[in-house]
Every structure is written in structure tokens, then in C-alpha cells.
Amino acid sequence: MTPFNELRSEQLDIWDLRHPTRRQLLKGLLGAGALAAILVSAPIIANAAPTISGVSGSVDHGNTLTITGTGFGTKATAAPFMWDDMMGTPNSQAALTARGWDTVWPDAAPTSSSNMQYRAAGSPPAAHNHVTQYMRGIHQSSGNFHTGQDVLASKQFTFSSGMAIYVSWYNYTGDGWTNVGSMSPADGNYKEFAYSNGATVYDGTFWYESLYNGGLPPPPFATGLEAGTTTNSFILANAADFYNTSNVYWGADSSVINPIGVWRKYEMKLLTGTNGYIRLLQNNVGPIINYSGFFDRAPGTLRSIGVGGFARACNSLNNSRYFNDVYIDMNPGTTNVPRVLLGNANTYAASTIVEPQIPSAWSDASITVKVNLGKHPNTGTAWLYVIRSDGSVNANGAPITLGSGGADTSPPVAPSNLRVQ
């Protein structure tokens, strides 16, 4: 297939009649009356999925792209609520606060290097080769949340009902992870995400997503986090104020990946309100968790949201967690968070790499983003996707050429003062 940034916009989907060039072409072919009849009889076009008609700028990591098209909708605030590529000052917890994190644990580990900090990548390498650092913390001590019970970073926000929330991040769990010598019972209780109506994710009323092997029926849980096993259980708990599941929602899915020694991409999608949802995907597979119903009727408007969490397996320098590319965003009054993603397949559903691009301007016809290649290579082809606030997405991606060879692909501007001799 010809890469999208080698096509003129007029070559794409002639029947999307929102584009003035296409309307003019059909007017010439069919006549003004016939075109008017088509427009009147095809109101569905107004609600069509987003259409990408041009991309300008080279598709290199960190560069700026302008995406043009139709049906992108609106976004309350163009920039994401939080974007952390982990490239802040290393070996300093103050650097995490400067990036916007409100809580980072551990922050008083017996060994200072076990505290949650940006660290130079080495062993293991970072999630991809476009960054040279990650955020790392170690469950060194079971004393309390400051010393190593919890390895997490969280952010406060103001809640409203009917708010869409989107969080994506990479997580890696240390190769030497062990449950030996942990807190009692020595099990695979390993929390990965948390949300509360308090100042931290474990204050006030909270809920969490966790790998667990506690054996609560029905059904009995499979093994939680444990080296050498296939992790295929999850649990959401402490949630009577957040969702209608009699306080516990559990299940098992063979898609859940054991995170020991493996970088996994998480996407947590939430919608607050009566018709809310909780959806968790890994590497764009899922939803592994797929809850629908009311979500978040807890009192107050203060909320905290965070990645990582508690683990029973403390007291070991081998029990480390690593994070890359945390993206948090929210959009009030809509069912989804508008976003731009770069996939590795020509349909969104087939993509196993979906990297959020970092928007700085957003309108119905134009989006400006900073390129985040993530796990994509520096050259080759990738596919752009725009997800609108109602969840609509261009299911067939717009192919673009990665690398400095990517040219300005916007449609040419019509000439002025042109005379035919």
C-alpha cells in the first residue's frame, strides 16, 4: 500500500462528502441538483468516523506533526493531563514532583536507591530505544508504604460525573522477583493500578486492580504474580462506592501477561457516572477487564489515580518495578477521551503497538501533536488513528512513513491570481 504521506487528500474516500474538493468533483460529474439530493439523503456522513486527509512534518521521535482531516471533534484541553516519558533528572525524587506527580512511593526506603526515582536504563533496558531512562522503585522493606510496601506514582484530579479517563503506561517487573521472605501470607498479591477519593490512591475510599491468588470463590483464583507461572487472574476490590459488584469484581483471562521480565503496555479506560465502565487492555488486547454499570459515586470531588501499588512480596532488593511512558488524560461530558495513536497495523483492532501522540492543539479539522514513536522503529510504516470523544475511530489507519524522509503531505493550496492565456 502506498504510504499515506505520499497521497494527496483527493485520492482518499471520494464519498466522504464533507471534503469540499470531493463535493466539487461530484458536482461536476453529477450536476448541482443530483449532488444536493445526495447530501440531503445521506445525513449519516455528519456522524462518520474521523477521516485523516493530510499529515505535515517528518515522523521522527520528538518532532511536531500537523494532522488535517474531518470529524476529529473537540477536546476540552488539547494537552494531556499528564505525560511522563521518564526523562527527568535521574536519582532524584524531587524530579518526579517537578514532572507533576503528587505522590511517589517508596520515599524512605532503607537504601535510598530503592526509592522511586528516574534511573538510567541498563539491565533491564527501557521499554523502547527512544528513551534512555525509566522510573524505578523497589519493594525493599515491608515496614510501611514509605519504606517499600508500595511502589507507585499517583496524581490528584478534580472529579465530575460523566468524565472519561484514559491511562496508558509500560510496566516491567524485575527478573529476580520472589515471594520468599515476603509479608504473610507469602502470595502473589500484586496491585497494578489504583483510584481513590483521597489525597493518595490509598486514602479515603479506594479501588484497585491487582493480580491475586487469594482463592476467594467463585471462581477460585489462579496464581497471582509468581515467577515461572502464567499469570491469568485479576481482581478489583474495595469498591462499593465505585461500582456495582457487591464489593469485589474478579475473573481470569488467559490474555493477562505475567509481567516478570517483560515490558507490558497497559491501557485503563474509565467512564464515571450512571452508565460508566472500567476496561483494561494489555498490548491492545482485551478488554481483559470489561465492567459496565455505575462508576464512582464516592463523595467529594478530590480524586487520585496512580500506576503501580502494593505488593505482599517485600523485603527483597530483587522485587523491583519499572515504568515508562505514563499518559493520563480526561475529558468531561464525553464517553471517551479524544486521542491520537500510532499503531503497527493497518487496522486499529489488529495493532499490538498503540503509542499515544502528544497533542498541543485540537480542532475538528486539525490536530497538532508531538511524535512519540515508543516501540515503533525509526523507519518503515506505521498507521495513524484518531479517536473522537464518542469513541469513533478511523478503523483503517492512515499509513505514514517513519523517519526524516516523511514529507509535507498536506493538500496543495489553491493558487491565486491565476490566468489562463
Number of domains the chain is built from? 2
- Please give the pLDDT value at position 356: 98
Q: Which stretch of 117-126, 133-142, 247-256 has the lowest confidence by average pLDDT?
A: 247-256
Looking at 273, 303, 332, the residue that finishes a domain is: 332
Find the length of the chain.
Answer: 421
Residues 92 and 69 in one domain: no
Cβ pair 131, 180 in contact under 8 A: no
**Residue 203 falls inside a structural domain:** yes
Cβ pair 104, 116 in contact under 8 A: yes
Residues 117 and 61 in one domain: no
- Please give the pLDDT value at position 288: 83
Looking at 279, 302, 332, the residue that finishes a domain is: 332
> In Å, what is the CA distance from 11 to each residue of 3, 19, 22, 240, 347?
12, 12, 10, 53, 19
Q: Which residue has the higher pLDDT, 2 or 175?
A: 175
pLDDT at 254 over 70: no
* Mean pLDDT across 97-117: 97
Q: Determine phi and psi for 97, rounding to 5 degrees.
A: -65, -40
pLDDT at 250 over 50: yes
Residues 45 and 89 in one domain: no
Q: Which stretch of 224-233, 350-359, 385-394 has the lowest confidence by average pLDDT?
A: 224-233
Rounded Cα distance between 171 and 309, Å, is 12
Residues 109 and 185 in one domain: yes
pLDDT at 30 over 90: no
List 341's β-bridge partners, or say none: 356, 385
pLDDT per position as a tens digit, 210-234: 876 544 443 444 455 666 555 555 6
* Mean pLDDT across 89-116: 96
Rounded Cα distance between 93 and 260, Å, is 25
| Pairing state between β 354-362 and 233-237 | unpaired
Q: Determine phi and psi for 349, rounding to 5 degrees.
A: -60, -30
Q: What average pLDDT is seen over the chain?
A: 82
Q: How confident is the model at residue 136 (pLDDT cuts 50, 70, 90)?
A: very high
- Please give the pLDDT value at position 241: 67
H or E, element range at 26:
helix 20-30
Q: Which residue has the higher pLDDT, 313 or 337?
A: 337
- Please give the pLDDT value at position 258: 80
**Residue 418 falls inside a structural domain:** no
pLDDT per position as a tens digit, 43-89: 333 468 999 999 999 999 999 999 999 999 999 999 999 999 999 99
CATH of residue 260's domain is 2.60.120.560
**Residue 407 falls inside a structural domain:** no
Residues 67 and 191 in one domain: no
List 169's β-bridge partners, or say none: 266
Residues 23 and 160 in one domain: no
* Mean pLDDT across 369-383: 97
**DSSP one-letter code for 36:** H
Residues 227 and 278 in one domain: yes
**Residue 421 falls inside a structural domain:** no
The one-letter amino acid at 57: G
Residues 177 and 230 in one domain: yes
**Residue 420 falls inside a structural domain:** no
- Please give the pLDDT value at position 259: 86
Residues 142 and 179 in one domain: yes
Quote the percentage of the chain above a pLDDT of 90.
61
pTM as predicted: 0.84
Residues 198 and 263 in one domain: yes
Q: Which stretch of 8-22, 167-181, 272-286, 368-382 has the lowest confidence by average pLDDT?
A: 8-22
- Please give the pLDDT value at position 20: 43
pLDDT per position as a tens digit, 282-301: 999 888 888 888 889 889 99
**Residue 417 falls inside a structural domain:** no
Residues 261 and 225 in one domain: yes
- Please give the pLDDT value at position 244: 60
* Mean pLDDT across 159-170: 97
- Please give the pLDDT value at position 222: 43
- Please give the pLDDT value at position 230: 56
Q: Which stretch of 96-110, 140-154, 407-421 has the lowest confidence by average pLDDT?
A: 407-421
- Please give the pLDDT value at position 130: 97
CATH of residue 17's domain is 2.60.40.10
- Please give the pLDDT value at position 240: 64
State the residue range of the domain holding 346: 4-75+338-402
Q: How confident is the model at residue 373 (pLDDT cuts 50, 70, 90)?
A: very high
**Residue 317 falls inside a structural domain:** yes
Kindly state the cell numbers that stand for 318: 530483587
Residues 176 and 320 in one domain: yes
